[in-house]
């Protein structure tokens, strides 16, 4: 009888430890994606996929000639699926990093130029809109554009523009829009970090009796050293 009691107690004790390890929301283990490092070189996207941590997916990819050498380059953003069930001792996925990698094209595949864990906001950083990351683009100027959108009744949107310079990608301009559905007021600020030129457009929205006119202003900022993509983080 004592042996049976001891066995039951042991099973319950081990179960309680296992349960606490898999449901401790106050002390979750770190995300695998938070420590993930993109490989230095790849031959194709398929070889890159094989290096991803468990459950990680490509959120976006874009191809273009970022360094103007006539060879197509590659930008990849990876993420966990949003709101995955809490299992396998994994924490809530919404606050995990969303790594981005810029690969320069070579005759043998792609070589990693830079990895940024900050340029793309976390999957749960968009308020009621969920994932704020809205996409990537390489424009006709061979610049990389990263889009964000989020909020609730108070809404915001970012467009960050990066350019290849001195063996890295640097933020050369961005625009930020803040608006509200309460009275339809909004403010948009566009900044060119190469020239220091900043332009603002805003409106106080409308009331039942009045609709306010849009206003504009310009100013010149002090030109500072450009911020690289691995050191820049959008303000959430």
CA dihedral 44, 66, 157, 198 (to 10 degrees): 170
In a domain, 5, yes or no: no
Domain that holds residue 154: 28-220
Tokens 């864990």 belong to 117
What confidence score (pLDDT) does residue 5 get? 40
> Phi then psi for 108, rounded to 5 degrees?
-105, 0
- What is the per-residue pLDDT for 129? 73
Please give the tally of structural domains in the chain. Answer: 1
* Chain mean position to CA 206: 33
3-state secondary structure of 148: strand
> How much is the pLDDT for 18?
35
7 in any annotated domain: no
Q: Is residue 165 part of a domain?
A: yes
pLDDT averaged over 10-residue windows placed end to end, the chain, 236 residues:
41 36 49 88 93 84 97 94 51 75 96 96 81 94 96 89 96 93 87 97 80 89 96 80
In a domain, residue 175? The reply is: yes
Tell me whether residue 230 is in a domain: no
* Nearby residues of 71 by Cβ (< 8 Å), 6 or more positions away: 65, 104, 105, 106, 107
pLDDT of residue 84: 47
Q: What is the sign of the dihedral through the CA atoms of 18, 19, 20 and 25?
A: positive
Cα(201)–Cα(25) distance, rounded to whole angstroms?
A: 43
Q: Which residues of 1-10 are buried (b: 16+ CB within 10 A; e: fewer)?
A: eeeeeeeeee
What's residue 11's pLDDT? Answer: 37
Asked, for residue 91, whether it belongs to a domain, the answer is: yes
Q: Is 21 among the domain residues?
A: no
3, part of any domain: no
């Amino acid at each position: 009888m004592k042996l049976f009691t001891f066995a039951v107690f042991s099973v319950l004790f081990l179960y309680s430890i296992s349960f606490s390890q898999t449901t401790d929301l106050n002390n979750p283990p770190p995300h695998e994606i938070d420590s993930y490092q993109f490989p230095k070189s790849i031959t194709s996207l398929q070889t890159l996929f094989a290096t991803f941590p468990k459950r990680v997916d490509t959120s976006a990819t874009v191809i273009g000639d970022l360094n103007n050498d006539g060879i197509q380059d590659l930008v990849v953003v990876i993420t966990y699926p949003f709101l995955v069930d809490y299992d396998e001792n994994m924490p809530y996925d919404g606050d995990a990093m969303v790594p981005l990698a810029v690969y320069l094209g070579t005759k043998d595949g792609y070589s990693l130029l830079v990895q940024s864990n900050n340029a793309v906001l976390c999957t749960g950083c968009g308020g009621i809109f969920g994932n704020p990351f809205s996409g990537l683009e390489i424009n006709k100027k061979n610049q990389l554009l990263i889009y964000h959108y989020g909020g609730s009744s108070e809404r915001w949107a970012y467009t960050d523009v990066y350019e290849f310079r001195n063996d890295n990608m640097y933020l050369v301009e961005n625009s930020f829009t803040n608006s509200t559905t309460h009275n339809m007021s909004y403010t948009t600020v566009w900044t060119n970090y190469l020239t220091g030129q900043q332009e603002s457009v805003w409106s106080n929205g409308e009331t039942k009796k009045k609709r306010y006119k849009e206003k504009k202003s310009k100013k010149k900022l002090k030109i500072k050293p450009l911020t690289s993509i691995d050191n820049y983080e959008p303000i959430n």
